[in-house]
Amino acid sequence: MNPDTSAALSLLSARAVRERAHRLLAIGLDDGLQHFRIDLGRMDAAVDLVLDTTRAAYPSLDVPFHSRWRHFVSKGDNRWATLADATAWKDSAARARAEFDLAIVSVFLDAGAGPAWRYTDPKTGDKIGRSEGLGLASLAMFCDGAFSADPQQPLRVDAAVLAKLDVADLARGMQVSDANPLVGLEGRADLLRRLGALVASKPDVFGMHDTPRPGGLFDQLVMFSHQGKLPAPTILSVLLQRLGPIWPSRLTLGGIALGDCWKHPALTSDDATSELMPLHKLSQWLSYSLIEPLQTAGVDVTNIDGLTGLAEYRNGGLFVDIGVLNFRDPSDEAREHDVSSTLVVEWRALTVALLDRLAEGVRQKLQLDSTSLPLAKILEGGSWAAGRVLARQRRTDSSPPIKVISDGTVF
């Protein structure tokens, strides 16, 4: 194998994300980073807030995994589960393919919505923003057959339909208008078209038991399981290798697209991966969201803590707002920063490493281990929600503490 290709594949893993994030944290703890100082003395406050937030939402500490499925529940109404349980599936694999279809499209539509956009829920009349609103909007489109080529089978996503998805179609489903703008609408539509084209071009991967559809990835993952067990990091590696080409043109190495991977000058090494920081936020969010469909289909997903925390603005905002991360240059707080900037890459990487530290602190206070309280539950309980609490307290529009210029395909 070409050495550059081998180096690129090494970055398409949760292990690479974690190792490099902790390397950057170590540099930061030596006060060697360009943009942030780290105050671990504020970590106890972060742990306490996450515990308080978790107990408020889940008093018994029976916390579900952090995944897209949480956003299909509104005021106790689990809309997908109700529909799926009432549907006469051919077998458990048919349901799993549909759930993969839904999760993949919904997650790829889930990058930040911006502060102004709201989804008016036809069922309740509520106006819901950000991830929850995007979740309900994408679920409604899926259930209405917006991504299906067969009117008799609305609960599916067909590659041919995605490949021709029009921005206007997506705008209609997302209720976008001049008065209700959605950040990165064109980028999202383009991402789904890329997904459709890729899936259509690889029937051997995505059409093993059906016409090509994103949900065909379920059958691929079953092939990677051994005696009914599938390590969670394998889900991520398969996603990154199978779906990597759909991401907008960013960094490539050895002919392989690296996806959500960026440059940071502190991460030097003596090979082709020097200065590269993989983060894979949306792909890890999707990996977490595919665990439950796999479990429902009878696959035992193991080593869930092998995945990392998510390098996104709620988790990252928690550490900035509570004072664990502090700008070296206070004026950076007022500026807008490109998603590829060293500041944003540094912030996101530190978020991943600090989430591991946060998880240790939460478990110590609760006297639980990683088996009973995996990172996926701490994220849900949890760090993501605590980041949102602080954002609401500190800024009228609940925006993150760092202004990021993004195209709707990162986070």
| pLDDT of 281 | 92
User: Could you report the per-residue pLDDT of 169-203, keeping only the tens digit for each?
Assistant: 999 999 999 999 998 899 899 999 999 999 999 99
Task: Give me the mean pLDDT over the 28-53 stretch.
Answer: 98
Q: State yes or no: pLDDT of 79 exceeds 70.
A: yes
Long-range CB contact pairs, 359-363, < 8 A, 24+: 359/309, 361/43, 361/44, 361/46, 361/47, 362/47, 362/50, 362/51, 362/54
| pLDDT of 37 | 98
The structure's pTM equals 0.94
Q: State yes or no: pLDDT of 28 exceeds 80.
A: yes
Q: Output the CA–CA distances (angstroms, integers) from residue 291 to 18, 117, 143, 297, in the order listed.
A: 20, 29, 21, 10
Q: Residue 365: CA atoms inside 13 Å, Cβ hemisphere, count? A: 19
| pLDDT of 135 | 95
Query: pLDDT grade, residue 60 (50/70/90)?
Result: very high
Q: State yes or no: pLDDT of 112 exceeds 90.
A: no
How far apart are the C-alpha atoms of 118 and 23, rounded to whole Å?
39
Q: Where are the domains of the chain?
A: 3-405
How far apart are the C-alpha atoms of 36 and 59, rounded to whole Å?
35
Q: State yes or no: pLDDT of 115 exceeds 90.
A: no
Categorise residue 311: left if φ over 0, alpha if ψ from -120 to 50, beta otherwise.
beta
Query: Pick from 20, 7, 6: which is nearest to 345 by CA?
Result: 20
What's the mean per-residue pLDDT of the chain? 95
How far apart are the C-alpha atoms of 359 and 155, rounded to whole Å?
37
Q: State yes or no: pLDDT of 57 exceeds 90.
A: yes
| pLDDT of 249 | 67
| pLDDT of 408 | 64
| pLDDT of 131 | 86
| pLDDT of 327 | 98
Q: Which of 43-47, 74-78, 81-85, 171-175 has the lowest mean pLDDT?
A: 74-78
Task: Give me the mean pLDDT over the 261-279 stretch.
Answer: 97
User: Could you report the per-residue pLDDT of 275-302, keeping only the tens digit for each?
Assistant: 999 999 989 999 999 999 999 999 999 9
Query: pLDDT grade, residue 110 (50/70/90)?
Result: confident
Are 69 and 135 within 8 A, CB to CB?
no
- Which residues sit opposite 252 in a β-bridge? 257
Q: Which of 19-23, 154-158, 402-406 has the lowest mean pLDDT?
A: 402-406
Query: pLDDT grade, residue 243 (50/70/90)?
Result: very high
| pLDDT of 1 | 77
Task: Give me the mean pLDDT over the 357-365 stretch.
Answer: 98
| pLDDT of 244 | 86
Q: Output the CA–CA distances (angstroms, integers) from residue 376 to 270, 300, 355, 399, in the order listed.
A: 34, 16, 11, 23
